[in-house]
Amino acid sequence: MRALNEGPTSPTSTEIRGAAPLLRGAGESEDIPLQQRRCAAGSLDKWSGHATARHWLPGLSLIRLSRPFLYQPLACVTVLSLLVTFLGAEYGYATLDVAADISLGVGTPLALLLAFRLNISYTRWLEGRTLWGKLVESSRSIVSTAVSATLAAQSDGCGGEEARATQERAREVAGWCVAFAYYLRGRLHDDDPAEATPAVQQLRDALERLLGARAVDELEAARAAGRNVPLRVLCRLRGSASRLLRGCGGGGAGPAGSASALLASELLVGARDEELFGTLSGCERLTSTPTPPGYVAILRSALLAFLALLPFIVAELGLVEVPVCLLTSLILLGIEDVAVQLEVPFGDDENDLPLAHYCVALEADLAELLDLLPAPDDGLAEPPKNA
């Protein structure tokens, strides 16, 4: 995949696939720049055309006339307008003298229906983006709290096995946060693991280093069985965060250094954990609750009726009738097509949210937070055996 901003310094997909692990294990020395990790997703190419103020023509590439949703009605309207034009020129076919009545009687309600449909779809798209923004915010907060607790534990005198166990728990918490984003994307996107992109495959490799191959295999088996894997991940995340905050290596005082600090950390993590549960529920609500089909049926009936009458409304234009009908139909059908894409923004369409990019960016941010931990002693690089 290409990077969002291509240039002499932008890494290629081949370079990214051959790079070191995104979330490196403890004790490894490779340092992958944040921008290079983000470029691994390459999911924002489809938006780069209209995101710049210098050029607007590349944005036209987002109009996909190859989709049956667009080209079939457009072909029908074009044929009908050509037929009306030919009959009018050859046989003096009289045009309908009700153009104004048809425009007001059908066009005005159709415009209101399309506007409402697009507004509702965009609201759903924006809700999906807000939910994923909350996911990123909560994950950063949880991992930053885990890192702070680990640093506080080490400054309070926890060393040796206790320090190693605390660092492993912090890495485990980060792993569960990445796993939640990874498996939530797969659940919403209806992913086939065998067709994973290089960026998505790197995310899974990072999970195996953080959580251990056994834990990831269990999650993959649950996904193959149709289970709600993100929900399971959140339960494991809650347990890992609780173990981290409750003790330094399983004994004595909490790693936050005092009872009040421990309580504050637990309350913060608990609140962020609840937000992740809310994100899961919100995303599932968007995918399972489409726009009411009755409304969509009325809208499309009015749209097809207007497009069928359009060649007769503008028949007096002569040969200009064909491009006018084609352009008008393209605008109206394009609005409905965009509304269909925005209605459930977790797919592969041009206007859907780039979830792979969000997952890679989150993983890179959490890796930056883990970099704040001091370099561990030898023997800390192994992932936990039982996550």
- Averaged pLDDT, 87-116: 70
Q: What digits encode the pLDDT tens for the residues 321-344?
A: 788 888 888 888 888 888 988 998
CB 195 within 8 A of CB 14: no
The CA distance from 207 to 376, in Å, is 19
Q: How many helices (H) and strands (E) does the chain have?
A: 14, 0
Question: What pLDDT score was predicted for residue 232?
Answer: 93
Residue 1 has pLDDT above 60, yes or no: no
Residue 3 has pLDDT above 50, yes or no: no
Q: DSSP assignment, residue 348?
A: S
What are residue 248's phi and psi, to 5 degrees?
-95, 100
The better pLDDT of the pair 380, 201 is held by 201
What's the pLDDT at 91?
61
Assign 251 to helix, strand or coil.
Answer: strand
What's the confidence (pLDDT) of residue 66? Answer: 54
pLDDT at 7: 34
Read off the pLDDT of residues 154-208 as tens digits, 9 standing for 90 and up: 776 665 677 777 788 888 999 999 999 999 998 998 776 666 677 777 888 888 8
CB-based contact 176:226 (threshold 8 Å): no
pLDDT value for 165: 78
Look at residue 386 in the predicted model and tell me its pLDDT.
47
Measure the CA–CA gap between 111 and 258, rounded to whole angstroms: 63
Q: For 89-113, what is the mean pLDDT?
A: 67
Query: If you average pLDDT over residues 222-241, what whole number do you get?
Result: 90
pLDDT, tens only, 52-76: 555 555 555 556 655 666 777 777 8
**What's the pLDDT tens digit per position in 283-301?**
999 999 888 889 999 998 8
Average pLDDT of every residue of the chain: 74
Could you give the percent of the chain with pLDDT greater than 70? 67
Residue 381's pLDDT is what? 39
In whole angstroms, what is the distance from residue 312 CA to residue 137 CA?
Answer: 55
